[in-house]
């Protein structure tokens, strides 16, 4: 079994201690909801897990027992959507699909777009999409490249209730398939059986 472990993580940004003593385990099928007030380090934690920055203290990473099934370990949906305005959603997703696995990449990209209700806009350059549609296209990236751990940073920003429902369905399917999810989100987003990590509990003691 493969486990993602974080132990006593601390994060410093701009010379300020943002959070400390964050520990959690993620087993296949587990979801973690990260909550907390603005500036409590939700995004910083996700960036740390994604490997974009290094922990100031503590450690995090995979503990695996020799069962690498070839999936990209981590997929990140951050604040920026990670898509090129000049490309159509289909082109952009086909690229990511190919990068993961060449076989039938365009078909997989189309399927992913259908999964988020974007099939009619598959050939519209992304610069002409609305905020919510861009977000949907970014989320569709989760489906073209199988990843073990989904990191969702406020995934519902800009989404209408229909799209939130689609995302909840995809997340549920991912978890049922043995995936893992860490999402920083408010409570209106339904994460089945998610443990909750409240960043407010991990703030450094006030300086005295």
Partner 1 sequence: MSGFFLLLRREIVLALRGGTDAGVALAFFVIAVTLFPFGLGPEPNLLARIAPGVLWVAALLAALLSLERLFQGDADDGVIEVHLARGTGLEVVAFAKMVAHWLVTGLPLVLVSPVLAAMLGLPSRGYLILLATLLVGTPVLSLVGGIGAALTIGARRGGALLALLVLPLLVPPLIFAVGAIDAVLQGLSARANLLLLGGLLAAALPLAPVAAAAAMRQAVE
Kindly list the residues in this chain that would bind partner 1 in the complex (CB under 8 A).
47, 50-53, 72-76, 78-87, 91, 95-96, 98-100, 102, 141, 145, 147, 151
* Least distance (Å) between residue 17 CB and partner 1: 17
Question: Given the complex with partner 1, which of 62 and 164 has the nearer CB atom?
Answer: 62
3-class secondary-structure state, position 111? helix
Question: Given the complex with partner 1, which of 74 and 190 has the nearer CB atom?
Answer: 74
Nearest residue to 1 via CA among 67, 62, 61, 69: 67
Dihedral, CA of residue 164, residue 82, residue 45 and residue 179, to nearest 10: 60
Question: Given the complex with partner 1, which of 95 and 124 has the nearer CB atom?
Answer: 95
Question: Given the complex with partner 1, which of 95 and 117 has the nearer CB atom?
Answer: 95
Q: CA–CA separation, 144 vs 96, rounded Å?
A: 7
Beta-carbon contacts of 138 under 8 Å, excluding residues fewer than 6 positions away, are: 77, 81, 82, 83
Burial class (CB in 10 A: 0-12, 13-18, 19+), 203: middle
* Least distance (Å) between residue 7 CB and partner 1: 20
Question: Given the complex with partner 1, which of 16 and 193 has the nearer CB atom?
Answer: 16
């Amino acid at each position: 079994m493969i486990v993602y472990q974080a132990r006593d993580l601390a994060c410093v940004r701009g010379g300020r201690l943002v959070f400390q003593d964050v520990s959690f385990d993620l087993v296949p099928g587990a979801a973690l909801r990260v909550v907390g007030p603005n500036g409590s380090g939700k995004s910083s934690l996700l960036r740390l897990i994604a490997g974009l920055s290094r922990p100031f203290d503590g450690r995090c990473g995979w503990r695996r027992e020799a069962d690498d099934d070839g999936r990209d370990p981590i997929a990140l949906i951050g604040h920026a959507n990670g898509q090129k305005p000049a490309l159509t959603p289909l082109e952009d997703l086909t690229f990511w699909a190919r990068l993961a696995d060449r076989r039938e990449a365009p078909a997989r990209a189309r399927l992913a777009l259908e999964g988020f209700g974007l099939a009619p806009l598959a050939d519209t350059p992304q610069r002409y999409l609305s905020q919510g549609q861009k977000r949907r296209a970014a989320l569709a990236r989760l489906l073209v490249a199988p990843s073990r751990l989904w990191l969702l940073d406020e995934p519902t920003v800009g989404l209408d209730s229909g799209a939130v429902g689609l995302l909840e369905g995809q997340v549920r399917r991912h978890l049922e398939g043995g995936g893992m999810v860490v999402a920083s989100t408010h409570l209106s987003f339904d994460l089945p059986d998610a443990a909750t990590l409240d960043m407010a509990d991990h703030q450094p003691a006030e300086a005295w």
